[in-house]
Structure 1
Amino acid sequence: MPKVLISDQMSPKAAEIFRARGVEVDEITGLSKDELIKIIGNYDGLAIRSSTKATKEIIAAATNLKVIGRAGIGVDNVDIPAASAAGVVVMNTPFGNSITTAEHAIALMFALARQLPEADASTQAGKWEKNRFMGVELTAKTLGLIGAGNIGSIVADRALGLRMKVIAYDPFLTAERAATLGIEKVTLDELLARAEFITLHTPLTDSTRNILSAENLAKTKPGVRIINCARGGLIDEAALKAGLDSGHIGGAALDVFVTEPAKESPLFGTPNFVSTPHLGASTDEAQVNVAIQVAEQMADFLLTGGVTNALNVPSLSADEAPRLRPYMALAEKLGSLIGQLVTDGMTGVTVEVEGAAAELNIKPITAAVLAGLMRPHSDTVNMVNAPYLARERNIEIAEVRHERETDYHTLVRVTVRTPDGERSVAGTLFAGREPRLVEIVGISIEAELKGAMLFVVNEDKPGFIGRIGTTLGEAGVNIGTFHLGRRDAGSEAVLLLSVDGAIPDPLLAAVCGLPGVKTVKGLMFA
């Protein structure tokens, strides 16, 4: 039974779902780093919110860990490269608190437009400063979205309902998607020049850090009001303070800060500044939603292999997993075969799918190929860290789908590039589930890749089969299966045979010394 640790405060629904699905779960919160390191090796999964820091040291101690699930969107507290290198899937829950975060951005926009926090404080202090708090309407104002993904699109929908005009800067926003949302796609400079309100809905990356820098804030429309419920670090806080003090920026509302918890900030006390303590996801509904979502995702992965909302491995739904599993087994064997044949100098890998395979999600198939391919380089390689290992070695990956007709109902082909040229292998599924090799280095051959095997390339001459059989027999090696293929009569031929155990190096050398032998390789498959 898989075992999961919930190390942060989370809705009880999460533990209930784990137990109902057949996953053992411990709820131990408030652990120090050293305390977590001591026990993390006992768990297959780690469910967290924002308090637990899944650092490189903790991941290194998590010898059985397979998945980290973040109940929420941000994964700043997870060392994703370390998790990827260790073969640990990292998931988040990007949709569970989307509505809540979008509503908080809208609430802060209203607060800025009508100066609600200041008016509340003034009124409760016994003042009646009706003439002091002159607000602005949202109707007909231009809202600029920096980021038009899941949360940004919800904000756009709500803003359109308020009769605002919505423009958006998002490198990944297509013209078709913008038209569907009813918004206008613009450049960042256009947005800065036109928007009367700006809201940010983008992750913090190297390309988005300080996207509202001093330089960009200077490009904004005088009197602009800015709202950030996404991530601290998207705005240069010192430049924002200067813009508020000068009056160029009409107001700002931050739910997130560069340093959190933000116990002090030069922005605090600045007129027309509103702040909240990272409340974007803080509603009862959102906390239940993300807890349910993270538990379901982690249980799916641990029990069925389904991968949802993963940040370092291709997604694979629980429905897809059973259908793809035979293809992934085939892909891993093909990768293993060619990885054993080409041990170094690899510069690129191409994965091609034809027939029924072309209708499937190709990403998990490619990841399985790479897992098989990289296994000779790492004892702990899997579908998560194999692409990471390939990138470390500067191996380029390509994927190709073919709609052409093929001799097989389904076909997967793997080709590797080396300075000496290309080598490829291809396989299919018998009865829809049994992996079979059908081609190796351009020669048709049918074989099951299993256990210890011997691969030989030789000249197609009479007597060779007898000589190799005698050589193996005299060495006490029992042959299980025997598979032959050739290009043309009398040209190059291949032999792939299974044996009862790994062939020792001296025997490989003896086979290599037989007349007509060009290549000999001992293979091993799980």
Structure 2
Amino acid sequence: MPKVLIADKLSESAVEVFRQRGVDAEIATGLSPEELKKKLPGFDGLAIRSATKVTKEILDAAPDLRVVGRAGIGVDNVDQEAATARGVVVMNTPGGNAVTTAEHAISLMLAMARRIPQADASTKAGKWEKSKFQGVEVTNKTLGLVGCGNIGAIVAERARGLRMKVIAYDPYLTQERARTLGIKRVETLDELYGQADFITLHVPKTDETTGMIDKAAMQKMKPGVRIINCARGGLIVEQDLADMIQDGHVAAAAIDVYDEEPAKANPLFELENTVCTPHLGASTSEAQEKVAVQVAEQMADYLTTGAVSNALNMPSLTAEESEHLGPYMTLADQIGSFAGQLTRSGISSIKIEYEGTVAGLNTRPITQSALAALLRPVLASVNLVNAPVVARERDIEVSEVKHERDHDYQTLVRVSVQSESGSHSIAGTLFGGDKPRLVEINGIAVEAELGPRMLYISNEDKPGLIGDVGNTLAESGINIATFHLGRAERGRDALALIEVDDDVAPYVVEKLSKLPAIRDVNVFRHPQIQLAEAAE
């Protein structure tokens, strides 16, 4: 039974979801980094919120870890690069708190516009300062969205209900999507800055967005602009914002996230024209329940069925896709493994081609299966998650090609490898929709099912080969299970693919290599045997 450690506070519903889906969940919150490192061995999954920091050191101390699930959208506390290198899937729940965060942004905007927190504090202090807290209407004002993904789109919908004009800057926002939302797309941030009365941020924290709202950016905004940030801390240079509020160019700000959290001191806390909340964007009972259940479902599905959803370092793969693509991924695994075991020098490029039915499917998981299997003979730790990174680190060019041309087979997958010592091309298909078969090796047609132990022999097409090989194996006490032959044309290049019942010792390979007409002999081990040996 897979095991998951819940290291941050999650709804009890998460534990129930894990239990119902056949995953053992243990709760251990508030652990120090050292305690977490000691605790993690033996766990397949780690469920967190924002408190636990999943560093390279933590990952290195968790040899069994397969997935990290973040209940929420932000994954600043997970070293994704280190997780990917280790082959650990990183998941989040981007839609789980979208409504809650969007509503908080709207709430902050209204509270800031009408100065509600300040008026509340004054009234409760026994004052009646009605004239001091004059606000502004939002009706007919222009709201500028910096980022228009899930949360930004909900903010836009709510703002239009308040009769606001909404504009948005987002490089990924299409004109069609903007029309559907009833908003105007602007081409540049400067254009948004020049038009918006209110600006709300809904972008992730990246190298490009960190510090994007600084003094220079605010100077381009309309005098009297009001700024809201419920996205990520660090998007705004806080001291610059405080200075611009004091100068009067920025009328007010409503902030929920900060450079350093928990934020005990901040230049924005000292100003009257700010509304500050302690990272409450996702803090509703509905959102907490939703993200806890969602992350548990995602992690359990991955650990029990291989389904991948909302992963940040691996293509998504639904449970239905996982079942449907499973035979193709198995085929790619076998072809890639065969090609990898034939390759004896540094690889420069890998091409994966799809023809027929498979060309119309989600081929990214299939490609990564082939890539991982191909690299596994050299790197036992490679898997579906880190295979593309491993290839990139080694300057291996990887390409994927889909053909619409007709072929003899309903579906065909071909893996071609270029290395320092030459090239190999292996193709396969599925018989009966789920039975992998090799159908071509280096341009020579052959039809074979890959067994646990295979001998691959390349040779000249000359009489007597079958008898010589059979006698040599018999003398060594090795029984032949199946024997498959193929040739380019009579008297030219040929091959033999032989399934045997026992391991073939190196001395047997050497004896075979010395037989007349044989050019090369390779021992092929099935991917499942490779994985089992690596696990041991």
* Alignment TM-score, normalising by the size of structure 1: 0.96
Superposed, which structure 2 residues align to 1:140-289 within 5 Å?
140-186=140-186, 187-289=188-290
Note the C-alpha offset of 1:523: 1.6
Superposition deviation, residue 361 in structure 1: 1.5
Look up the match of 2:120. Answer: 120
Counterpart in the other structure of 2:532: none
Q: Distance in 2 between matches of 1:221 and 1:484?
A: 77
Alignment-derived partner of residue 483 in structure 1: 484
Q: Check if 1:385 corresponds to 2:378.
A: no
Amino acid at match of 1:34: E
- Deviation (angstroms), 1:36: 1.7
TM-score normalised over the length of structure 2: 0.94
What do residues 338-395 of structure 1 show as CA deviations (whole Å, max 9, x unaligned)?
1112233322322222222123221111111112012112223221122221222122
Instruction: State how far apart, in whole Å, the 2-side matches of 1:196 and 1:419 are.
Output: 61
Pick closer, same or farther for the CA change 1:176–1:135 going to 2, 3 Å. Answer: same
Give the drift of 1:208.
1.5
Partner of 2:22 in structure 1? 22
* Per-residue deviation, residues 197-220 of structure 1 (Å, max 9, x unmatched): 111111111121112233222222
**Paired residue type of 1:7:** A
Deviation at 1:125, TM superposition (A): 2.3
8 Å CA contact retained: 1:502, 1:524: no
Q: Which residue of 1 aligns with 2:533?
A: none
For 1:72, the aligned partner's letter is G
Paired residue type of 1:177:
R
Contact 2:345 2:421 in 1 (8 A): no
Tell me the equivalent position of 1:341. 342
- Separation (CA, whole Å) in 1 of partners of 2:41 and 2:401: 39
For the residue of structure 2 that corresponds to 1:267, the secondary structure is helix
Provide the identity percentage: 59
SS of alignment partner, residue 371 of structure 2: helix
- Aligned-residue Cα RMSD (Å) equals 1.8
Q: Counterparts in 2 of 1:446-457, with a 5 A limit?
A: 446-457=447-458
What SS does the corresponding residue of 1:46 show, helix, strand or coil? strand
How far off is 1:263 after superposition? 0.5
| Whole-Å separation in 2 of the counterparts to 1:192 and 1:450 | 65
Secondary structure (helix, strand or coil) at the match of 1:131 reads helix
Question: How big is each residue's C-alpha offset from its partner over 1:458-512, in whole Å with a ceiling of 9 and x where there is no partner?
Answer: 2222233333333333333322211111222222112221222333333333333
AA aligned to 2:234 is G
Alignment of 1:33-182 (within 5 A): 33-182=33-182
Which shifted more, 402-411 or 432-441? Answer: 402-411
**Cα distance in 1 for residues equivalent to 2:425 and 2:201:** 47
Which residue pairs with 1:365 in the alignment? Answer: 366
Q: Does 1:425 align with 2:426?
A: yes
1:336 and 1:183 map into 2 onto residues whose CA distance is 51
**Structure 1 gap ranges (5+):** none
- CA–CA distance in 1 between the matches of 2:269 and 2:296? 38
- Kept after mapping to 2: 8 A contact 1:428/1:437: yes
Query: Helix, strand or coil for the counterpart of 1:299?
Result: helix
Match of 2:531 in 1: none
Per-residue CA deviations over 1:197-246 (Å, capped at 9, x if unaligned) read: 11111111112111223322222222111111111111111221221121
For residues 164-200 of structure 1, the C-alpha deviation after alignment (integer angstroms, 9 at most, x for no partner) is 2222122222222222222222222211222221111
CA distance in 2, matches of 1:165, 1:394: 49
Contact map agreement 1:255 1:277 (CA 8 A) in 2:
yes
Query: Mean Cα displacement is larger for which, 256-265 or 43-52?
Result: 43-52
Aligned-partner residue type, residue 255 of structure 1:
D
Distance 1:286 1:229 in 2: 15
Deviation per CA, 1:306-354, whole angstroms, max 9, x where unpaired? 1111111111111221111111111111111111122333223222222
1:453-464 matches, cutoff 5 A = 453-464=454-465
CA distance in 2, matches of 1:343, 1:300: 37
Q: Deviations over 1:238-295 (max 9, x none)?
A: 2212211211112111110111101101221123111110000000000000011011
For 2:437, the equivalent position in structure 1 comes to: 436
Q: What is the distance in 1 between the residues matched to 2:95 and 2:444?
A: 49
1:508 aligns with 2:515: no
Per the TM alignment, residue 21 of structure 1 is displaced from its structure 2 partner at its CA by: 1.9
1:99-158 CA-to-partner distances (Å, cap 9, x unmatched) read 000100111111221122222222222222222222222122221111111111111111
Is the aligned partner of 1:317 residue 2:318?
Answer: yes
Unpaired runs of at least 5, structure 2: 529-536
- One-letter amino acid matched to 1:442: G
Structure 1 distance, partners of 2:277, 2:333, is: 50
Maintained 8 Å contact 2:3/2:45: yes
* CA shift for structure 1 position 33: 1.8
What is the CA distance between 1:420 and its match in structure 2? 6.2
Partners in 1 of 2:185 and 2:451 — Cα distance?
A: 54
Distance 1:50 1:267 in 2: 23
Give the partner amino acid of 1:260.
E
Letter matched to residue 85 of structure 1: A
Q: Number of aligned pairs?
A: 526
Tell me the distance in 2 between the aligned counterparts of 1:175 and 1:400: 30
Offset at residue 422 of structure 1 (A):
4.7
The DSSP-based 3-state class of the residue aligned with 1:41 is: coil
Instruction: Give me the whole-angstrom Cα distance separating, in 2, the residues matched to 1:450 and 1:213.
Output: 63
Secondary structure of the residue aligned to 2:467 is helix
Amino acid in the other structure paired with 2:347: M
State the 1:31 CA deviation: 1.6
Match of 2:414 in 1: 413
Question: What one-letter code is carried by the residue in structure 1 that aligns with 2:272?
Answer: P
Displacement of 1:69 after TM fit? 1.1
Give the drift of 1:84. Answer: 1.7
Residue in 1 aligned with 2:520?
519
Instruction: Decide whether the 8 Å contact of 2:59 with 2:83 is kept in 1.
Output: yes
Structure 1 residue 42 displacement after superposition: 2.5
